[in-house]
Amino acid sequence: MPTTSSPAKKLFDTVLFREIWEAMKVTFRHMFHRPMTFEYPREKRTIPDTHRGALALLRYDDGQERCVGCDLCEAACPSHCIKVISEEDKTRPLQRYAKEFYIDITKCVFCGYCVEACPVNALAMTKLYEYSTPDKRTLLFDKARLYEIGERYLEDGKRYLYAHNQEKEGEESRAYRYQFPVPVQKTPNA
Amino acid sequence: MSQETGQPTVTLTIDGMTITVPKDTLVIEAARQAGVMIPHFCYHPKLAPDANCRMCFVEIEKMPRLQTSCSTKVAEGMVVRTTSPTVQQARKSVLEFILANHPLDCPVCDQGGRCDLQDFSHEYTPPVSRFTELKRVFPKEYFSALIETQMNRCVQCLRCVRYCDQVMDVKALAPQGRGTLTEIKSFGHHELDCEFCGGCVQICPVGAITSRLSMYEFRPWMLKRAETICGYCGDGCEITLQTKENRLIEVNSTLGGGRNNADLCARGFFGYHASTHPDRLTTPLVRKDGHLVEVTWEEALETVAAQVGWVKDEYGPEAIGGLISARCTNEDLYLFQKFMRLVLGTNHLDSSVRYGYMNAIEAFRRVQGLHRWTVTFDDVVAADTLMLIGTNVTETNPITGLKIKEAVKQRGARLITLESLKPVRGTISNIATLATHHLELSPDQFGIGVLGLIKAVFEQGLVDSALEQEAPEYVGALRTKIEAITWDRLLAHSTLTPSMFHAAVRTFEQGARSIVVVGQGVLRSPGGYATMVNIHDVLLLLGRLDRPGCGIAALAEENNEQGAIEMGAVPDLLPGALPVSDPEARRAVAASWGQEPPRTPGLTMMEMIERAKTGHLKALFVVGENPLGSLPPSAGVAEALDRVELLVCQELFLTETAQRAHVVLPACSYAEKDGTCINTEGHTQAVRKAIEPLGESRPDWEIFSALSVLLDSPMEYETAKDLTKEIRNMIPASRVLGPAPLPPRPDREVLRRYILGGYRDDLDGRLTPPPVTKTTGTMTLSFAQSLFHSGKFSTKAKGLLKIQSAGVANLNPQDAERLGVRTGDRIEIRNEGGSAITPVRAWERVPEGVVVFPEHFDQDLRQVMSVTVDPRTGVPYCKLARVSVEKV
């Protein structure tokens, strides 16, 4: 409000409650406006692809586990919430895999370093954020839980990797990061 | 000339720094001394330069091209540049070629994080390769149980091949193929079959050769390291136990560290899992109603204290005995004997040195007035002539074996072997193949062999003239005795000729630095002590006993046998190896202990067993020792243990002896405790804790300390360090905790006493060849140590069991043919003691008429052995027997 108005105008405004009308104008305008809030959980927000939600382990399209148990996510994690126990796959000699994989999501700071460190893009972040629970123990995600999330939110995970330019969309996704050589066994007669 | 050593030196400039190094140093080594690291793959200080990787290029002024610094020797005024643009360019190109084929599987490679190629690539190459071609992939023929090769990662530096040949003398690996398709393989289309020293795994600069035992269980940055001493043989190798979350992951050794200088054997490299075997005892056990029941420490210790207190009051301290294993640390051994002597008041204590090493110590004490070697491993390496008598050194003490190989192969020493080996190459190295003179003897003939040496010394007129003047009587007595024995009688049952002995002693005498290495073949076979004294005579006659760089090296089997002697864990010796009977020594000990040790003579192991059999020994403490599993049934250990009223075992596992115990207390293995131990050459080294004790197990010394408190004469120590301090104050010789031991010289006074009369005591006995009763059809069965095991402890190590998991009787192929058996068949071994059936293997290195069986798997076969006890040292001889062998 300008303070340097004429006394006549001032008087006129006072008599007519002009300030109240000004305020009511905003109020009435909003009566016809689309509501700004979401009625969570009935209504949900659209989340961008880069969103850092719950972590997931992904599989290749043929169902094979992407994770090779290299422990690099564990090394990259600033809050030490990842624990990988890896060993040699008894059925496929010389192939490394994660026998156990834990993420203590209560400790996780959602920095996404683990996803960046992963040489095979096995880890990704999903748009899942609804896992509050009365039982804190369920927040230690084990390998089964992480793959389950990965299966349910595979599309989210892939979108996250594309958005962060870690994996290319389409056919080449599997070959984009290095595919480790599989030892070839000579047949005895070869 | 350098002032300290008198060696010629060279001054050169490396990257602007002026440095003076000894002549003939390689440029790469000189640079390292100047603090400049030149990247390399194929160079290794232990190996001869090969210059095949081309990574170590440097620019040297006035030389036309870049030079490989690993094969160029320094020269006066040389100017070397290691970081010039040309050099950088060359390194980049070399790496680019290596990376053209090296797979980018660092994330799944066990070497990732400590890989030379990874480090150099970070430093010298661009992040993206210019090569788009496919990388080579080698097909695999087999997967190995222990040493796995992933040839796709190989950079073809051939370090492994050269190590296997130059250092180990095994020659198990070879490069195959050409160019980038060169592949490291073993000979034949089967798994690697070698000494499994792990050298190739350790020396590989990339991840091409890795250990299957710890494969993918770790990343290098997760590992915690503990520099400790290997718990198997007497060589006392320094090992780095690498652990992750209180689990043993792998073993390494450091170049330039310990007495082994980065070399290990199969036991050291693959045997570490014995400590954490699932069968380990983790809670104290007390026998209740005939069964061993788990109880608390309090209950177990109180039971022991009450019972042993009762035995002491009822029957006196003389009714209590104790046995301890020489695998314990000095602290355990020291406190054990202090506990027995002060708290219980008895001298009846013995350790596993009694199985053989005691023969050497008694002979040392008698002739030289010492209880340790007068030489070190360094002297062995620097020796001109070496003589091995009954050592089978590759299998018993592999690292001593490497020192001998180094002396022979790299320094041109001449080697004389009196071994029960045929000089044939096999999958594991054979020291006899390196010998200038090899005298092949049956395992029961080493005594005869030494007599032959004495005879040859006289016949060749090699007797030291100074000795002849000083002690003509001694020389004369020996001469008369030995001349009375004819060669025909000595060599009745061997193919040797007198001239072979003549040549051997002549060669031995030619070296200025000559060392005799004596092994278990001598120390553990009947007459071991006499033979040991005779070996002293040989050296005395040649004038070699008292000369620097010369001497006798007797090999200990267990890692701390020398420590057991020095800590006084034998009945007649106090700490510092002072005799119990010497009042002066007892006063000296009392000054530290505050109380005098008992003066009654103690009993040896076999005497204790005898006393227990007659019911005079009522209580027995057995610490890590397993007499029931080590001695044959005919020794009567079982009967003895049955009559004992209190048997307390401190053990890692429920052994045969522990199964009969009244109380079993869980002890820690070497990986779980601090302390010191003394290796066979007399060098004190630190044992450090790598993991927390398993379950409720405690270090042995803590158990003795707790018991002493309950028995009202407390010996309290807070840590093992306090004990170490007490030991160091008492025993000056154990203060040496440095890079190398300081060997003592023989005591001239004792030596004089010996040659002027001391030799007479048993001259008749020891200069008489033992009567040989060889009948046709019978063979000599020898329980020998295998390279892949040590005692019974290593049979709990899963890695070693993958190499050797059961006992196989080894026969000469000719004998096998005579018996009509082939490798894999079964034979029956029989004599008056009993019989047993075992699989058989034809092995070229076993002499004819001999059956060699690994002692680690002797459970069924032990019954054919009989025990004879050495009259002077009380050593039980039970490793040789005459048996008849038949095909089953």
The pLDDT, as a whole number, for residue B1 is 46
Say if residues B582 and B609 touch (Cβ distance below 8 Å): no
Q: How far is A41 from chain B (nearest CA, A)?
A: 42
Q: Decide if B222 touches A, using CB distance below 8 A.
A: yes
| Residue A98 with chain B: CB contacts under 8 Å | none
The pLDDT, as a whole number, for residue A171 is 57
Residue B227 placed within a domain: no
- Please tell me whether residue B248 adopts helix, strand or coil conformation: strand
Q: Which of A83, A85, A86, A92 to mutate to test the interface with B (most CBs of B within 10 A)?
A: A86
Q: What domains are there in chain A, each with its CATH number?
A: 55-167 (3.30.70.3270)
Structure tokens at B661: 């115990």
Q: Decide if A70 touches B, using CB distance below 8 A.
A: yes
User: Amino acid identity, residue A109?
Assistant: V
What is the C-alpha separation between B248 and B268, in angstroms, rounded?
13
Chain-chain contact of A178 with B104 (C-beta, under 8 angstroms): yes
Q: CB count, 10 Å around CB of B358?
A: 28
- What percent of chain B is predicted at pLDDT more than 90? 88
Chain-chain contact of A180 with B150 (C-beta, under 8 angstroms): no
Residue B770 placed within a domain: no
| Residue A178 with chain B: CB contacts under 8 Å | 104-105
Q: Which of A92, A102, A186 to mutate to test the interface with B (most CBs of B within 10 A)?
A: A186
pLDDT digits (tens, 9 = 90+) for B232-256: 999 999 999 999 999 999 999 999 8
Residue A94: which of B104, B139, B150 has the nearest Cβ? B150
For B260-286, what is the mean pLDDT?
95
Residue B81 placed within a domain: yes
Chain-chain contact of B219 with A87 (C-beta, under 8 angstroms): no
The pLDDT, as a whole number, for residue B330 is 95
* Domain CATH number, residue B848: 2.40.40.20
Q: How far is B104 from chain A (nearest CA, A)?
A: 7
For B618-633, what is the mean pLDDT?
95
Say if residues B195 and B428 touch (Cβ distance below 8 Å): yes
* DSSP track, B409-452: IIT--EEEEEES------SS--GGGG-SEEEE--TT-HHHHHHH
Least confident piece of the model among B1-15, B321-335, B864-878: B1-15
Say if residues A76 and A100 touch (Cβ distance below 8 Å): no
Residue A41 preceded by cis peptide, ω within 30: yes
Q: Return the DSSP state at B659.
A: H
Same-domain check for residues B817 and B720 = no
Residue B186's DSSP bridge partners are B173
Average pLDDT, chain A: 88
Say if residues B161 and B174 touch (Cβ distance below 8 Å): yes
What is the C-alpha separation between B445 and B521, in angstroms, rounded?
9
Complex-level ipTM: 0.85
Residue A180: which of B105, B143, B216 has the nearest Cβ? B105
What is the C-alpha separation between B131 and B129, in angstroms, rounded?
5
Where does residue A94 fall: left (phi above 0), alpha (psi -120 to 50 degrees), or beta otherwise? left
* Length reported for chain B: 888
| Residue A119 with chain B: CB contacts under 8 Å | 107
Q: Which of B108, B217, B222 to mutate to test the interface with A (most CBs of A within 10 A)?
A: B108
Same-domain check for residues B59 and B75 = yes
Residue B487 has pLDDT above 60, yes or no: yes
Domain boundary among B66, B99, B132: B99
Q: Is the dihedral of CA B188, B194, B198, B204 positive or negative?
A: negative
* DSSP track, B801-823: HHH--S--EEE-HHHHHHHT--T
Q: How far is A184 from chain B (nearest CA, A)?
A: 5
Average pLDDT, chain B: 93
What is the C-alpha separation between B338 and B159, in angstroms, rounded?
50
| Residue A184 with chain B: CB contacts under 8 Å | 137-140
The pLDDT, as a whole number, for residue A179 is 64
Same-domain check for residues B505 and B653 = no
Chain-chain contact of B108 with A88 (C-beta, under 8 angstroms): no
pLDDT tier for residue B169 given thresholds of 50, 70 and 90: very high
Q: How far is B222 from chain A (nearest CA, A)?
A: 9
Q: Which of A88, A92, A123, A189 to mutate to test the interface with B (most CBs of B within 10 A)?
A: A88
Q: Decide if A116 touches B, using CB distance below 8 A.
A: no
CA dihedral B454, B455, B459, B460 (to 10 degrees): -30
Q: How far is B803 from chain A (nearest CA, A)?
A: 19
Q: Decide if A32 touches B, using CB distance below 8 A.
A: no
Q: Decide if A68 touches B, using CB distance below 8 A.
A: yes
Q: Decide if B103 touches A, using CB distance below 8 A.
A: yes
For residue B9, CA distances in Å to B1, B69, B76 come to: 5, 18, 9
For B411-433, what is the mean pLDDT?
94
Residue B671 placed within a domain: yes
Same-domain check for residues B505 and B588 = no
Residue B283 has pLDDT above 70, yes or no: yes
For B363-391, what is the mean pLDDT?
94
Structure tokens at A69: 């148990």
What is the C-alpha separation between B101 and B401, in angstroms, rounded?
38
Chain-chain contact of A70 with B141 (C-beta, under 8 angstroms): no
* Domain CATH number, residue B549: 3.40.228.10
Whose tokens are 């269980």? That residue is: B217
Domain boundary among B99, B130, B145: B99
Same-domain check for residues B527 and B662 = no
Chain-chain contact of B108 with A68 (C-beta, under 8 angstroms): yes
Same-domain check for residues B397 and B479 = yes
* Domain CATH number, residue B68: 3.10.20.740
Number of A:B CB contacts under 8 A? 54
Residue B625 placed within a domain: yes
The pLDDT, as a whole number, for residue A190 is 41
Q: Decide if A186 touches B, using CB distance below 8 A.
A: yes
Same-domain check for residues B345 and B445 = no
pLDDT digits (tens, 9 = 90+) for B91-122: 999 999 999 999 988 999 999 999 999 999 99
The pLDDT, as a whole number, for residue B708 is 96
The pLDDT, as a whole number, for residue B737 is 63
Residue A177 has pLDDT above 60, yes or no: no
What is the maximum span of chain A, computed from C-alpha positions, in angstroms? 111
pLDDT tier for residue B492 given thresholds of 50, 70 and 90: confident
Domain boundary among B44, B70, B99: B99
CA nearest to B299, candidates B706, B716, B658 = B706
Same-domain check for residues B610 and B720 = yes
CA nearest to B628, candidates B646, B611, B645, B605 = B605
HSE, CB side, 13 Å, CA atoms: give it for residue B397: 31
User: Amino acid identity, residue B240?
Assistant: T
H or E segment at B553? strand B551-554
Q: Which of A89, A94, A179 to mutate to test the interface with B (most CBs of B within 10 A)?
A: A94
Residue B140: which of A72, A75, A185 has the nearest Cβ? A185
- What percent of chain B is predicted at pLDDT more than 70? 98
Q: CB count, 10 Å around CB of A52?
A: 17
- Please tell me whether residue B578 adopts helix, strand or coil conformation: strand
Structure tokens at B482: 């030995």
Q: CB count, 10 Å around CB of A3?
A: 5
For A96-120, what is the mean pLDDT?
95
The pLDDT, as a whole number, for residue A50 is 94
Q: Decide if B247 touches A, using CB distance below 8 A.
A: no
**Minimum Cα–Cα distance from A100: chain B residue:** B217
For B418-431, what is the mean pLDDT?
93
Chain-chain contact of B108 with A75 (C-beta, under 8 angstroms): no
Q: Decide if A87 touches B, using CB distance below 8 A.
A: yes
Residue A188 has pLDDT above 70, yes or no: no
| Residue A181 with chain B: CB contacts under 8 Å | 103, 105, 135, 137, 152
For residue B564, CA distances in Å to A47, B568, B576, B609, B678 come to: 73, 6, 10, 20, 9
pLDDT digits (tens, 9 = 90+) for B55-87: 999 999 999 999 999 999 999 999 999 999 999
What is the C-alpha separation between A123 and A115, in angstroms, rounded?
5
| Residue A180 with chain B: CB contacts under 8 Å | 103, 105, 107-108
For A40-47, what is the mean pLDDT?
89
Residue B772 has pLDDT above 90, yes or no: no
Chain-chain contact of B140 with A181 (C-beta, under 8 angstroms): no
Predicted structure pTM score: 0.92
For B404-432, what is the mean pLDDT?
95
- What percent of chain A is predicted at pLDDT more than 70? 91
pLDDT digits (tens, 9 = 90+) for B666-715: 999 999 999 999 999 988 999 999 999 999 999 999 999 999 999 999 99
Domain of B875 in residue numbering reads as 779-887
| Residue A186 with chain B: CB contacts under 8 Å | 139-141
Whose tokens are 């290095």? That residue is: A178
Same-domain check for residues B549 and B689 = no
Same-domain check for residues B342 and B465 = no
Residue B615 has pLDDT above 80, yes or no: yes
CA dihedral B429, B174, B25, B17 (to 10 degrees): -140
Q: How far is B139 from chain A (nearest CA, A)?
A: 5
Structure tokens at B297: 């420490």
Chain-chain contact of A96 with B216 (C-beta, under 8 angstroms): yes
Least confident piece of the model among B181-190, B348-357, B535-544: B181-190
CA B698 to the chain's CA centroid: 26
Same-domain check for residues B689 and B611 = yes
Where does residue B753 fall: left (phi above 0), alpha (psi -120 to 50 degrees), or beta otherwise? alpha
Residue B734 has pLDDT above 70, yes or no: no
Same-domain check for residues B597 and B466 = no
Sheet holding B247-252, edge to edge: B224-229, B238-244, B247-252
Counting the structural domains of chain B, the total is 4
The pLDDT, as a whole number, for residue B399 is 96
Chain-chain contact of B139 with A186 (C-beta, under 8 angstroms): yes
Q: CB count, 10 Å around CB of B712?
A: 9
Residue B258 placed within a domain: no
Residue B530 placed within a domain: yes
Residue B617 placed within a domain: yes
Chain-chain contact of A184 with B140 (C-beta, under 8 angstroms): yes
- Please tell me whether residue B371 adopts helix, strand or coil conformation: coil
Q: Decide if B108 touches A, using CB distance below 8 A.
A: yes
| Residue B141 with chain A: CB contacts under 8 Å | 185-186
